[in-house]
């Protein structure tokens, strides 16, 4: 060059303050950087143009250890050299002569074309604006984003050829953004490249080289690779090693450090300029597709779609940015979610990149599900393993946020289904895939609800929200499991997991349990695998597993047919019985456990009356066991309990040999002969106060023996009683047993206190421990009472002369009172409650039931107190207690006699007693306590009846016991159950009772109704008298019950009103008495306004649902009711009162519309006075004001047309007045004027006067007519003003009314 | 089908009486009137007519079965008049009303022919007259 060019070559310059980091210069060395795979070398090669050859190598003195660069580089530092260049250029230009400058200009224009000045100016502007911006925002700027214009300047010579108009419209936007990003990226230092920078070699300096430098290791630590892999890498240099030269500190790529002003946003914001610059730079880079095209294929069209793939990375690379805003969770191989910021930076050798979207480490759920169906077994197995771990975490998400995966909250149910499906699909595979599939199933079933493991007495269907378990393809799954168990290829752990899965499935529902039993070869395999292990055990054979016995118990408890299917294989379990635990080949604890589980299994079979013959066939062994248990060698309370339980079950079987299946399997004489009772009494010596549960079992078993002796023993079992009493009486008075009872009472009270303190919305999982405590003590107390009761001889009407032994009666009754009225019974059904709460309440209802029997024997209990207790406790019984319930109901009905009522001063017409009194309805009452379906649930204490009839020993799920549904199980009873004879009359076609009535029964409908209403009335009276207010029926329940009486006439053909039941004087009187406490006149509270916003009792449509079911809405019932009133009522006053119930503003407008609009003509026959309305709040009918135009129109029509009277008139006037007058809350629209005119034009004098003068309080007390028409006040003038607005004539008409009376 | 013959809906059987009044034994001044071979058309008309009298305390009917052409009308009065008498009165009034209606209709119809018609809207309602005074007995506030 003859003269120094204006644009010169670039020389090395000294940095002002800080040397640029080596990473900065990585790709400028002239050598290809060593690139780690995680940097997506290929993608980079395409996306990032090579810049080598053009950059001056950065020479760095090695004795200057560069300080670690701050994370975000300030643009000032970047600009140091640029300022320097600028300064230099300026000086040079200044030094030139005028001609020289002119010549240079021409030269440049020649080279670059006339627009170069414009281009450069714009580039400069862009740079400046960008700089300003980055200064202002201080976001981690891309170091080279301000760098690029400079390179445009410096590289201008070469670029000249390819310089294109930057804002050419032909360049699509994606191209521009691509090149921008690629530029941005190119500048971000790659983690590994720092090592490739060749350091200056100086003698005497040791430099350590490694392919993977120590700093690389630091990067990946957040997701630890396997320990083995870590050992491969060099450890980081120790701080003391001063021989080490740092090669710089690794910085994560800028876009991960801080999300560089979201790219999209900056693109929008940063004006054309920056894009142009970027576009220009992109074009300047060598090796880009565009560059190649221009150079070598100038004729080819730009943006050829068939060459799209060449720049395809542009969009792909943008994904991380968009994704980081909405992260999908990625999991590593341990099922742990990888944080979003790490998933981009993790290296690929961890094995986390084997999925379609290659740039992120870790697998999304979808990836895992996809790979879990892989045909490569290893892959499939590992993915199933990941799923299992995810399932483990997922199950704990709702409980514990830390252990779980909070990102997936709310999706647990849907995912559980999918997880189960994935596991079930792979269950048939062999080897590790099968094992992992089993593990996955295990995590999704038995491990999912851990707190459920000991809940065997109830079907847990409700716990399975979203029906994940019911969705399992059992007809496929179970044979596979059977196969897996019989082949036993899988490791023993997997087989155990399979057992646990089966256990959980059997817990789910009885029908699944039945399917399990029916599955071919499944039960035999379980026996083979877990129970019939070789004796003596060899080294490699597993021990028998007590869990399998538990599982068998569960199956047996689930249904009668399952139990009978298990009777045959039960023989093989005798192997655990014939050797005593002490001489067993197994370790003592295991042998003891096996023996006790076997005994419990036998007891479960005996609760259906099965397999009792084992007592005969294995009698020597049982004698041996009994001896062992009585000896001091036996320390296991579990074994004692199991033994006593089995004895109790067999004793019950022996009581009536015809009830067992097959009959006569065990005989009473044998029971006596074996001396079980003596054995049991002897066992007592071994027990002390801490063996509470064993005591309970012992008492219960002894009671069963005494109950049997009453039937089978000589002279009603007198000797046996004497024997037992002789042994126990003193102990109950002074000894251990007294203490046991007292302690149980004390602890029960404490635990109950704890429960009621925390219980608000429902029985939560945290309440379970205290509830279990209460259960245990309640069980003890109940057993003690059972024993006490069994010591009575069976002569009827025999009250206590002298108690057989002492029990603390006072304390017992107070505890029972606390339990009966405890809030836990109502909170049982709230949606927050655990779905097996009723199982935990079962011992309590057993306690209450036995207390009820005890209470009858205590001399201090008056018949009415006992009756009140009976009515209360009946509401606390659960399915399985039907027998107790029936007996109680029959006893109560027996107690209600003419004498009983006369003694209490209640006069009841003799007619009722002449027709047989309560006997008329007893068949209905007892029948309605029996289950409607085929399921008969065994009671907690089996009886000879139950062992013959019970079909299952497990409680149904809670959802089938909801009080407000129509249910198959009559228990637990609702408070209005006493109306049930009416239900049978109303549904006489389908009622079972009528088919089974005794021949002597010949009562008429009216007599049944009379007796029912009397029964209801008595129940309410005694409950109220004894302050058991919780058990009183609500207003809605009584109202609906009375509606049933009227509805008996619905659809009847007779046309004589004399036959109508509701006209019967006694029926009418009883109904009036029942409704009296619920009428408005009963309490001054009913006049309060505003009406209560929260209703403590169920609304009438909810109450009706119990009877009507889901198919018939209450509205339909109400329309029938109104229709009946219209047809036959002759304006019966009580009928009319009941019509008004659902008309309050609490209920939807449809009811009001129906009566007021569709049956407008009947309203004049409803002459109910406001005091007689069956309601808790008159205000409920008045506020809020009716807004439904149709109903208001109907009010108006009824008011102007007919002579409305009483309450209906008040309602009509109120709502019309409130819709007209502003002082009552009307907003004064056009409609109100229209309404006012309509009243004035159509209404009679009375109607107009009432509407105009009506005044009501919004708060305080409701004013009833006539007072509501006579209130003085300013409002009269206001109303007159308001009326004046709708016309002078209106004002005139109202002047007299409003002013005449005001003074 | 189980529908009865069409003619049985209006032809009396042999010896059947079309109206049968049963005095109620339990309720004072009440009666159940069985009217055969009639349906809701008459029953509804009678009931609304009856409910218009102040001396009627209750009037209602039921058609026990849709396939049996009879209905039961229940009337209770305040004692100033017997149910049977008030039913008779109701019938007389109804007949009168129908006769008036008929004659009015005929007159209007002939006048319409003579004069060439008054101004009517599409439904035959004269368009003159105030809305409220001539309107229905109540307002539809919808």
pLDDT digits (tens, 9 = 90+) for A1179-1196: 888 888 888 889 999 999
What is the rounded CA–CA span in Å between residue A595 and residue A578? Answer: 9
Whether the per-residue pLDDT at A1076 is higher than 80: the answer is: yes
Determine whether the interchain pair B142/A1190 forms a contact, defined as Cβ–Cβ distance below 8 Å: yes
A1227-1234, long-range: CB within 8 Å, 24+ apart, which pairs?
A1228/A1282, A1231/A1189, A1231/B141, A1233/A1285, A1233/A1286, A1234/B139, A1234/B141
Residue of B nearest to A1049 (CA): B64
Q: What is the DSSP string of A1254-1298?
A: ----SSEEPPPTTGGG---STHHHHHHHHHHHT-HHHHHHHHHHH
Sequence-distant (6+) residues with CB within 8 A of A131 are: A75, A79, A146
pLDDT at B3: 80
Greater pLDDT, A936 or A79: A936
A1131 touches B: beta carbon within 8 Å: yes
Considering only the C-alpha atoms of chain A, give the largest distance between any 2 of them, rounded to a whole number of Å.
145
pLDDT at A156: 40
Q: CA nearest A1142: which of A1122, A1171, A1169?
A: A1122
Determine whether the interchain pair A1190/B141 forms a contact, defined as Cβ–Cβ distance below 8 Å: yes
Q: Provide mean pLDDT across the span A1057-1071.
A: 86
pLDDT at A403: 72
pLDDT band at A329 (very low <50, low <70, confident <90, very high): confident
Tokens, residue A924 = 């209905």
Encode pLDDT of A972-1022 as tens digits. Answer: 888 888 898 898 888 887 877 888 888 888 888 888 899 999 999 999 999
Tokens, residue A1114 = 């209450």
pLDDT at A272: 44
Listed ranges A78-92, A602-616, A820-834; the one with the highest mean pLDDT: A602-616
- Peptide bond before A972: cis, by omega within 30 degrees of 0? yes
Encode pLDDT of A299-318 as tens digits. Answer: 887 777 777 776 655 444 44
Q: Minimum mean pLDDT among A348-352, A558-562, B49-53: which range?
A: A348-352
Greater pLDDT, A625 or A156: A625
Greater pLDDT, B88 or A859: B88
pLDDT at A64: 45
ipTM for the whole complex: 0.78
Whether the per-residue pLDDT at A1174 is higher than 60: the answer is: yes
pLDDT band at B125 (very low <50, low <70, confident <90, very high): low
Q: Minimum mean pLDDT among A559-563, A964-968, B85-89: which range?
A: A964-968
pLDDT band at A597 (very low <50, low <70, confident <90, very high): very high
A1238 touches B: beta carbon within 8 Å: yes
pLDDT at A240: 63
Interaxial angle between packed helices A431-444 and A492-508, expressed in degrees from 0 to 180 and rounded to the nearest 10: 40
Q: Provide mean pLDDT across the span A56-69.
A: 47
pLDDT at A1268: 85
pLDDT at A243: 62
Class of domain B16-113: alpha beta
Q: Minimum mean pLDDT among A264-278, A795-809, A1248-1262: which range?
A: A264-278
Greater pLDDT, A852 or A185: A852
Q: Where are the beta strands (DSSP E) in A357-441?
A: 363-364
Report which secondary-structure segment, H or E, holds B20. Answer: strand B19-23
Residue of A nearest to B23 (CA): A1056
- Picking from B61, B132, B138, the nearest residue to A1127 by CB comes out as B61
Determine whether the interchain pair A1165/B61 forms a contact, defined as Cβ–Cβ distance below 8 Å: no
Greater pLDDT, A281 or A633: A633
Determine whether the interchain pair B139/A1196 forms a contact, defined as Cβ–Cβ distance below 8 Å: yes
Encode pLDDT of A746-773 as tens digits. Answer: 998 888 888 877 656 778 878 888 888 8
Q: Provide mean pLDDT across the span A253-274.
A: 42
Q: Provide mean pLDDT across the span A1224-1240.
A: 80
Q: What angle do CA A584, A590, A591 make, to 5 degrees?
A: 30
Encode pLDDT of A1023-1037 as tens digits. Answer: 999 988 888 898 899
For B92, what's the count of Cα atoms within 13 Å in the CB-facing half-sphere? Answer: 6
What is the rounded CA–CA span in Å between residue A246 and residue A909? Answer: 109
CA distance B30 to chain A (A): 8
pLDDT at A1297: 78
CA distance B51 to chain A (A): 7
Encode pLDDT of A870-922 as tens digits. Answer: 999 998 998 888 888 999 999 999 888 888 888 888 888 888 888 788 888 88
Whether the per-residue pLDDT at A266 is higher than 80: the answer is: no
pLDDT at A1041: 93
Determine whether the interchain pair A1238/B76 forms a contact, defined as Cβ–Cβ distance below 8 Å: no
Whether the per-residue pLDDT at A43 is higher than 70: the answer is: no
Which residues of A fall within a CB distance of 8 Å from B24? 1056-1058, 1130
pLDDT band at A228 (very low <50, low <70, confident <90, very high): very low
Which residues of A fall within a CB distance of 8 Å from B65? 1053
SS3 B75: strand
Q: Minimum mean pLDDT among A627-631, A1090-1094, A1192-1196: which range?
A: A1090-1094
Residue of A nearest to B63 (CA): A1127
CA distance A1018 to chain B (A): 28
Which residues of B fall within a CB distance of 8 Å from A1235? 139, 141
Q: Provide mean pLDDT across the span A313-331.
A: 52
A 1042-1071 residues with CB below 8 A of B? 1053, 1055-1058, 1063
Torsion of CA A595, A598, A600, A603, to 10 degrees: -130
What is the rounded CA–CA span in Å between residue A1265 and residue A1206? Answer: 9
pLDDT averaged over every residue in chain A: 78
pLDDT band at A254 (very low <50, low <70, confident <90, very high): very low
pLDDT at A259: 40
Whether the per-residue pLDDT at A426 is higher than 80: the answer is: yes
Whether the per-residue pLDDT at A187 is higher than 60: the answer is: no
Q: Minimum mean pLDDT among A537-541, A1024-1028, A1113-1117: which range?
A: A537-541
Whether the per-residue pLDDT at A740 is higher than 70: the answer is: yes
Q: Provide mean pLDDT across the span A935-944.
A: 88
Q: Provide mean pLDDT across the span A334-357.
A: 79
Residue of A nearest to B61 (CA): A1127
User: Which runs of consecutive H residues, i.e. helices, occur in A631-735?
Assistant: 637-655, 668-674, 676-683, 692-712, 718-734
Number of residues in chain A: 1303
Q: What percent of chain A has pLDDT over 70?
A: 79
A1190 touches B: beta carbon within 8 Å: yes
Determine whether the interchain pair A1234/B51 forms a contact, defined as Cβ–Cβ distance below 8 Å: no
Do A596 and A618 contact (CB within 8 A), yes or no?
no
Q: Provide mean pLDDT across the span A85-101.
A: 82
Whether the per-residue pLDDT at A487 is higher than 50: the answer is: yes
- Picking from A1129, A1161, A1193, the nearest residue to B139 by CB comes out as A1193
Tokens, residue A1174 = 């069956």
Determine whether the interchain pair A1057/B26 forms a contact, defined as Cβ–Cβ distance below 8 Å: yes
Whether the per-residue pLDDT at A227 is higher than 70: the answer is: no
Q: CA nearest A608: which of A559, A648, A565?
A: A559
Do A229 and A62 contact (CB within 8 A), yes or no?
no
What is the rounded CA–CA span in Å between residue B64 and residue B68? Answer: 8
Whether the per-residue pLDDT at B26 is higher than 60: the answer is: yes
Q: Provide mean pLDDT across the span A413-442.
A: 88
Residue of A nearest to B51 (CA): A1161
pLDDT at A594: 92
Encode pLDDT of A670-693 as tens digits. Answer: 888 888 888 888 888 888 888 888
Encode pLDDT of A119-157 as tens digits. Answer: 878 888 887 777 766 555 544 434 444 444 444 444 444
Which residues of B fall within a CB distance of 8 Å from A1242? 137-139
SS3 A93: helix
Whether the per-residue pLDDT at B10 is higher than 80: the answer is: yes
Encode pLDDT of A830-846 as tens digits. Answer: 888 888 888 888 999 99
What is the rounded CA–CA span in Å between residue B35 and residue B43? Answer: 9
Whether the per-residue pLDDT at A221 is higher than 80: the answer is: no
Encode pLDDT of A269-285 as tens digits. Answer: 444 444 444 444 444 56
Whether the per-residue pLDDT at B131 is higher than 60: the answer is: no
């Amino acid at each position: 060059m003859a003269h120094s060019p204006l644009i010169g070559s670039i020389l090395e310059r000294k940095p002002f303050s800080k040397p640029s980091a080596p990473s900065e210069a990585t790709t400028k060395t002239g050598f290809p950087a060593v690139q780690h795979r995680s940097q997506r070398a290929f993608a980079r090669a395409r996306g990032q143009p090579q810049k080598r050859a053009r950059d001056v190598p950065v020479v760095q003195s090695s004795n200057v250890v560069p300080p670690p660069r701050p994370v975000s580089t300030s643009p000032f530092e970047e600009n140091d050299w640029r300022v320097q260049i600028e300064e230099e250029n300026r000086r040079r230009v200044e030094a030139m002569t005028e001609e020289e400058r002119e010549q240079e200009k021409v030269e440049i224009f020649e080279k670059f074309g006339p627009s170069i000045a414009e281009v450069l100016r714009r580039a400069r502007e862009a740079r400046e604006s960008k700089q300003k911006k980055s200064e202002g925002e201080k976001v981690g700027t891309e170091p080279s984003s301000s760098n690029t214009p400079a390179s445009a300047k410096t590289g201008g010579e070469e670029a000249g050829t390819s310089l294109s108009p930057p804002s050419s419209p032909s360049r699509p936007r994606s191209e521009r953004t691509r090149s921008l990003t690629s530029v941005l990226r190119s500048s971000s230092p790659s983690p590994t490249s720092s090592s490739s920078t060749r350091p200056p070699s100086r003698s005497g300096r040791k430099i350590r080289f490694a392919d993977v430098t120590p700093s690389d290791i630091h990067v990946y630590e957040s997701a630890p690779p396997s320990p083995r892999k870590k050992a491969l890498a060099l450890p980081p240099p120790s701080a003391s090693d001063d021989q080490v030269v740092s090669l710089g500190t690794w910085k994560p790529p800028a876009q991960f450090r801080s999300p560089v002003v979201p790219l999209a946003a900056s693109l929008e914001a940063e004006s054309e300029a920056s894009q142009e610059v970027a576009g220009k730079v992109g074009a300047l880079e060598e090796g880009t597709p565009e560059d190649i095209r221009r150079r070598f294929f100038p004729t080819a069209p730009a943006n050829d779609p068939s060459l799209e793939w060449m720049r395809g990375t542009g969009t792909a690379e943008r994904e991380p940015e968009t994704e980081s805003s909405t992260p999908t969770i990625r999991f590593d191989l341990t099922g742990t979610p990888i944080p979003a910021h790490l998933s981009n930076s993790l290296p690929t050798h961890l094995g986390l990149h084997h999925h379609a979207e290659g740039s992120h480490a870790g697998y999304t759920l979808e990836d895992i599900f996809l790979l879990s169906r892989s045909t490569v077994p290893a892959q499939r197995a590992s993915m199933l393993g990941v799923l299992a771990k995810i399932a483990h975490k997922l199950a704990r998400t709702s409980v514990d946020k830390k252990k779980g995966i909070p990102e997936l909250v709310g999706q647990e149910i849907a995912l559980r289904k999918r997880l189960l499906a994935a596991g079930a699909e792979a269950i048939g595979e062999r080897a590790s895939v099968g094992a992992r599939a089993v593990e996955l199933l295990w995590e999704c079933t038995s491990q999912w609800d851990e707190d459920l493991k000991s809940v065997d007495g109830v079907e847990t269907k409700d716990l399975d929200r979203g029906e994940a378990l019911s969705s399992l393809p059992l007809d496929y799954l179970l044979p596979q499991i059977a196969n897996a168990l019989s082949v036993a290829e899988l490791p023993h752990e997997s087989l155990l997991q399979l057992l646990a899965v089966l256990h959980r499935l059997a817990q789910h529902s009885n029908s699944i349990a039945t399917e399990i039993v029916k599955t071919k070869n499944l039960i035999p395999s379980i026996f083979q695998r877990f129970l019939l292990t070789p004796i003596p055990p060899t080294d490699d054979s597993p021990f028998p597993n007590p869990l399998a016995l538990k599982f068998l118990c569960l199956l047996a408890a689930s249904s009668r047919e399952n139990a009978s299917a298990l009777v045959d294989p039960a023989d093989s379990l005798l192997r655990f019985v014939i050797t005593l635990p002490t001489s067993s080949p197994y370790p003592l604890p295991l042998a003891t456990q096996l023996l006790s589980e076997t005994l419990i299994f036998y007891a479960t079979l005996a609760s259906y009356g099965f397999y009792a013959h084992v007592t005969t066939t294995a009698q020597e062994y049982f004698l041996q066991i009994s001896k062992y248990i009585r000896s001091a060698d036996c320390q296991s309370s579990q074994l004692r309990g199991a033994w006593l339980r089995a004895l109790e079950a067999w004793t019950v079987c022996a009581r009536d040999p015809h009830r067992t299946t097959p009959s006569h399997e065990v005989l009473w004489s044998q029971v006596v002969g074996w001396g079980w009772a003596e054995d049991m009494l002897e066992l007592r010596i071994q027990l002390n106060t801490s063996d509470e549960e064993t005591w309970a079992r012992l008492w219960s078993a002894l009671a069963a023996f005494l109950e049997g002796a009453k039937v089978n023993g000589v002279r009603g079992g007198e000797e046996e009683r004497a024997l037992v009493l002789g042994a126990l009486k003193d102990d109950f008075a002074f000894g251990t047993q007294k203490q046991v009872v007292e302690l149980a009472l004390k602890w029960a009270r404490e635990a109950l206190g704890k429960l009621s303190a925390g219980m608000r919305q429902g029985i939560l999982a945290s309440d379970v421990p205290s509830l279990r405590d209460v259960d245990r003590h309640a069980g003890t107390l109940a057993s003690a009472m059972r024993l006490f009761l069994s010591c009575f001889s069976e002569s009827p009407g025999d009250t206590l002369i002298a108690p057989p032994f002492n029990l603390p009666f006072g304390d017992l009754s107070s505890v029972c009172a606390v339990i009966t009225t405890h809030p836990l019974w109502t909170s049982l059904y709230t949606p927050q409650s655990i779905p097996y709460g009723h199982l935990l309440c079962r011992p309590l209802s057993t306690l209450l039931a036995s207390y009820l029997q005890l209470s009858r024997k205590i001399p201090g209990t008056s018949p009415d107190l006992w009756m009140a207790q009976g009515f209360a406790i009946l509401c606390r019984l659960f399915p399985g207690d039907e027998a107790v319930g029936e007996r109680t109901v029959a006893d109560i009905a027996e107690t209600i006699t003419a004498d009983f009522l006369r003694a209490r001063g209640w006069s009841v017409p003799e007619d009722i007693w002449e027709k047989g009194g309560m006997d008329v309805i007893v068949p209905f009452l007892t029948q309605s306590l029996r289950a409607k379906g085929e399921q008969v649930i065994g009671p907690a204490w089996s009886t000879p009846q139950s062992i013959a009839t019970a079909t299952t020993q497990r409680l149904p799920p809670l959802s089938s016991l909801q009080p407000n549904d129509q249910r198959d199980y009559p228990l637990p009873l609702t408070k209005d159950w006493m109306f049930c004879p009416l239900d049978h009359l109303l549904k006489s076609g389908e009622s079972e009772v009528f088919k089974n009535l005794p021949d002597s029964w010949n009562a008429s409908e009216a007599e049944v109704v009379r007796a029912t209403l009397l029964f209801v009335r008595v129940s309410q009276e005694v409950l109220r008298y004894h302050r058991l207010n919780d058990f009183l029926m609500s207003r809605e329940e009584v109202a609906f019950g009375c509606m049933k009486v009227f509805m008996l006439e619905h659809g009847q053909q007779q046309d004589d009103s004399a036959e109508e039941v509701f006209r019967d004087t006694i029926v009418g009187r009883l109904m009036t008495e029942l409704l009296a406490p619920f009428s408005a006149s009963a309490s001054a509270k009913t006049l309060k306004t505003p009406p209560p916003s929260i209703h403590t009792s169920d609304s009438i449509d909810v109450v009706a649902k119990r009877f009507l079911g889901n198919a018939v809405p209450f509205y339909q019932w109400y329309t029938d009711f109104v229709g009946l009133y219209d047809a036959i009522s002759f304006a019966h006053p009580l009928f009319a009162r009941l019509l008004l119930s659902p008309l309050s503003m609490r209920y939807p407008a449809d009811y009001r519309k129906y009566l007021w609009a569709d049956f407008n003509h009947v309203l004049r026959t409803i002459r109910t006075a406001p005091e007689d309305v069956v309601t808790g709040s008159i205000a409920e009918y008045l506020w809020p004001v009716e807004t439904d135009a149709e109903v208001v129109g109907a009010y108006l029509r009824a008011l102007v047309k007919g002579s409305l009277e009483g309450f209906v008139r008040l309602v009509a006037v109120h709502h019309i007045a409130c819709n007209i007058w502003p002082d009552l809350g009307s907003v004064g629209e056009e409609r109100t004027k229209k309404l006012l005119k309509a009243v004035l034009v159509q209404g009679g004098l009375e109607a107009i006067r009432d509407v105009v003068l009506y005044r009501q309080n919004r708060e305080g007390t409701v004013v009833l007519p006539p007072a509501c028409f006579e209130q003085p006040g300013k409002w009269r003038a206001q109303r007159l003003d308001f009326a004046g607005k709708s016309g002078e004539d209106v004002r005139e008409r109202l002047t007299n009314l409003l002013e005449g009376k005001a003074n | 089908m189980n529908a009865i013959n069409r003619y049985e809906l209006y032809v009396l059987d042999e010896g059947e009486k079309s109206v049968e009044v049963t005095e109620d034994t339990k309720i004072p001044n009440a009666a159940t009137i069985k009217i055969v071979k009639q349906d809701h058309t008459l029953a509804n008309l009678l009931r609304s007519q009856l409910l218009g009298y102040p001396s009627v305390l209750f009037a209602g009917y039921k058609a026990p079965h849709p396939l049996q052409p009879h209905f039961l009308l229940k009337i209770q009065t305040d004692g100033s008049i017997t149910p049977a008498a008030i039913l008779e009165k109701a019938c007389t009034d109804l007949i009168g009303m129908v006769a008036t209606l008929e004659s009015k209709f005929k007159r209007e119809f002939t006048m319409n022919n003579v004069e060439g018609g008054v101004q009517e809207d599409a439904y035959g309602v004269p368009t003159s007259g105030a809305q409220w005074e001539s309107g229905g007995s109540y307002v539809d506030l919808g």
